[in-house]
Amino acid sequence: MISRQLENTLIKRLGQTPAVALLGSRQVGKTTLARALDPGKPMQYLDLERPSDLARLADPELYLSGFAGHLVVLDEVQCLPNLFPVLAKPDR
């Protein structure tokens, strides 16, 4: 993988806030960067374009509660817009 200038900034931001968004044009390396992160804690990756991963979030509060203390990567999160209010709850 090409070393990304934003990798260190991304790791720093993940330590400062409960959610970080990677935004950018198509096929510029957002997924590659997210999957290659070493945040120093366990990571769960979900690609919401995959039906199996999308199905895991049928009850998002229940599913995500099992990953407290983990980095959860939600790739293609725009595929599940009703997830945003759940993620915005203060106890997340």
> Which pLDDT tens digit goes with each residue over 12-40?
998 898 889 989 888 988 998 888 888 88
pTM of the model: 0.84
Asked whether the beta carbons of 47 and 79 are under 8 A apart, the reply is: no
Residue 27 CB neighbour total at 10 angstroms: 8
